Structure 1
Amino acid sequence: MRQLLFWGLLIWCGVSSAAFDERTRADIAERAGELARTHTLLVAVEGETVIERGYRDYRTDETVNIKSLSKTWIATLVGAAIDRGVIESVDQPVTELLADRVPANVDPRVREITVGQLLSMQSGLERTSGGNYGAWVASDNWVADALRRPFVGEPGGRMLYSTGNSHLLSAALTQTTGRSTLALMRDWLGEPLGIDIPPWTRDPQGIYFGGNEMGLAPTALLAFAEMIRRGGRVDGEQVITEDWIEASWQHRTNSVYTGHAYGYGWFTTELAGVTAHYGRGYGGQLLFVVPDKDLSVVITSDPTPPSSGSYFQQQAAIVEKIIRAI
């Protein structure tokens, strides 16, 4: 009878014993550490950090390069700008925000590209990622170079994953507010989350790189994930509106690599029978939010090449194991 009462109390409290079982946590942490590139693993369930591990002499509180996971942060910053009326809406043409940063000799269709199309990687412009990345970052003006790229699709059409899209958004925020993306990030996200946001790479015009090379501690990533999981709230303060989070998770296109749905800076898939939203960076930088399980997961990894495209599947299997344990 006592045992039945004990299990009933756990269910009533909404807490899964498996998620807090030491053996289960140790097994998950060990499996994550067995992956070749893992640096840290953090897991929070119902707001409580139940796993916090560093591997290969890496700590959870030291700054790491989160690579393209920074696109999720830039997208959230755009949401904060819309919340504040700095950007009218996702339907606003980005050229209105970039003003005189737009070169005179661009394709007229550039004027049709909206903020939302940049967020969802549907600008139609030739990618500045992949094989085009090196030449783009070697150019003397990243904004102008991205806008001068030829159209290989229509605005609003298929997904063309491109870091240039995110960088245009960083430039738009800087141009419109007169403040650096770093200052905005610290003010609108860092301060309410209580996290440190160090300076990161800037382009030749001094615009902070929108979509790559951003440095954050894994603990800061977890704080961000938990804010998103709580509907944009931190200690009663609404940092990002719940409407924006829902809009970010809405299926707008699909990744050509995984087939997973993509919204505004977030991928969405199904793991262990539940919906999981995630941001992802090169080499295995991952942030998962699983609302149905009140779960947030952060994994950081070796950000240097080479990195197998299949590595994500190994990491996703760890997250799936965590979901099943709850």
Structure 2
Amino acid sequence: MPVTCGIDQGRRRTLATASLALGALALPNATVWAQRTGPATDRLAWPPAPAPLAAQHQRAWAGLSSRIEVQLPDVQSLAVLHRGHLAHEFYRAGVTADTLQDTQSVTKSVLALLFGQAQADGHVRGPDELVAQRLPQMLRVGADARVQRLRFAHLLTMTAGWKGDQTAQRDRDDDLAQIVRRPFVAQPGERFAYDNGSANLLALALASAVGQPLADYARARLFEPLGIRRFAWRQGAQGRALGALGLSLSTRAMARLGELVLAQGQWQDHALVPTAFVRAATERQSAGGYPLGAAYGYLWWLGASAPRRTAMANGYGGQWIYVHPPLDLVVAVTSRRTPESAARGQGLSLIERDIVPTVQHMR
């Protein structure tokens, strides 16, 4: 059965080149990290699958780990959730279920969930609110007057009007003046341009709105309710958490966040993140485009049309949270963070050529 839920073949051909630019890798010695929190293990777990489904999973994934080990050397870990059960895991030597891994631009998609949580908590009114309402100092740094018209929706949809920047530089990534003084090339809302600066500005504004460091807010209001107790969040030179990249999570934690998106923000019989916001985040808000060649929601990439679209969080080198509602499927993949890994795209190939077709044949 052909795979129609993800990136089409034309877009796939552009991925090798485009992914080189997606969430440019920052050098470890040029970063500051927020303190890691929590015990040695999250102990994230899922209920065992009913015997018939467990048997299906065992047959379906027989030999997959060996194939990844030999044929997909870039892939470092894999977690597959199907119908609410942990169907398969793979960890390369030196990586475990508790290893914190740099998710790169997956950080952006998690930031979107935090915005939805902040809206539920009353810290922001919603995507249509002016950014300057929560970060008034951005109007006092001599920036283009168009900064006054920036709304959170422009940052969430990558339509702020700046040229777009996929690089990471510690000395400027959390520097408000450096971000907002960049020249505009379009009116806010006019066109899509994948831009790390917009995500970093969103992180600054959100931290200001909630009145505490973003990592602290994320721990209390998003991660701990999901059972995620260990993470690390990279800071810029000014000591503020970045929004474009820098969040390190375990593979199971990535899968748990995907599970939350699959459930449209519902967790343990209540709305952890507002359902309406999660729906909007995973619906087409713009045509998207470079570098992934896919439509865009609120800091989530979107797959082809379906009753509910595939939602994808993607980071440099092949870090993925892949949420496919029609199959009740979540896949988390981590890969090496190198230009070669980005070009080969083994993580996405594993998802769309192995995992999704296998689950389709289970129905």
TM-score, length basis structure 1: 0.87
Instruction: Confirm or deny that 1:321 pairs with 2:354.
Output: no
Identity within the alignment, %:
27
The structure-2 alpha-carbon separation of the partners of 1:325 and 1:32, relative to structure 1 and needing over 3 Å to count, comes to: farther
Shift of 1:35: 1.5
Which residue number corresponds to residue 58 of structure 1?
A: 95
CA distance in 2, matches of 1:140, 1:277: 26
SS of residue in 2 equivalent to 1:138: coil
Q: Confirm whether residue 277 of structure 1 aligns to residue 277 of structure 2.
A: no
Question: 1-side partners of 2:119 and 2:354: how far apart?
Answer: 35
Once the two structures are superposed, residues 71-121 of structure 1 have per-residue CA deviations (whole angstroms, 9 ceiling, x without a partner) of 010011001111222111101111221112444310001111110110111
**1:71 corresponds to 2:105:** no
In the other structure, the counterpart of 1:205 is: 238
Query: What's the offset of the Cα at 1:191?
Result: 1.5
Shift of 1:257: 3.1
Report the number of matched residues.
310
Give the aligned partner of residue 86 of structure 1.
123
Q: 1:164 aligns with which of 175, 194, 197?
A: 197
Q: Does 1:177 align with 2:213?
A: no
1:245 maps to what in 2? 278
RMSD after superposition = 2.5
The residue number in structure 2 matching 1:193 is: 226
1:40 CA drift (Å): 0.6
Partner residue, 2:338: 304
Alpha-carbon contact 2:141-2:177 (below 8 Å) kept: no
* Distance 1:303-1:118 versus aligned 2 partners, 3 A rule: same
Equivalences for residues 7-22 of structure 1 within 5 A: 17=53, 20-22=56-58
Amino acid at match of 1:108: A
Superposed CA offset, 1:231-273 (max 9, x none): 2122223211211111001212222234311100111113999
The structure where helix makes up a greater share of residues is 1
Structure 2 regions of 5+ residues with no counterpart?
A: 1-48
Note the 1:116-195 alignment, pairs <5 A.
116-130=153-167, 133-134=168-169, 137-139=170-172, 142-195=175-228
How much does 1:28 deviate? 3.7
Instruction: With the length of structure 2 as denominator, give the TM-score of the two structures.
Output: 0.78
SS of 1:43 mapped into structure 2: strand
Structure 1 residue runs without a partner (length 5+): 1-12
**CA distances 1:185-228 after superposition (whole Å, capped 9, x unpaired):** 00111111011243322122221011201111111111111122
* 1:264 equivalent in alignment to 2:264: no
Do the aligned residues in 1 keep the contact of 2:171 with 2:236 (CA within 8 Å)?
no
| Match in the other structure for 1:4 | none
- AA aligned to 1:230 is A
Aligned partners of 1:65, 1:283: CA distance in 2, in Å? 10
Change (3 A) 1:122 1:309: farther
Larger Cα Rg: Structure 1 or Structure 2? 1
Secondary structure of 2:62's counterpart equals helix
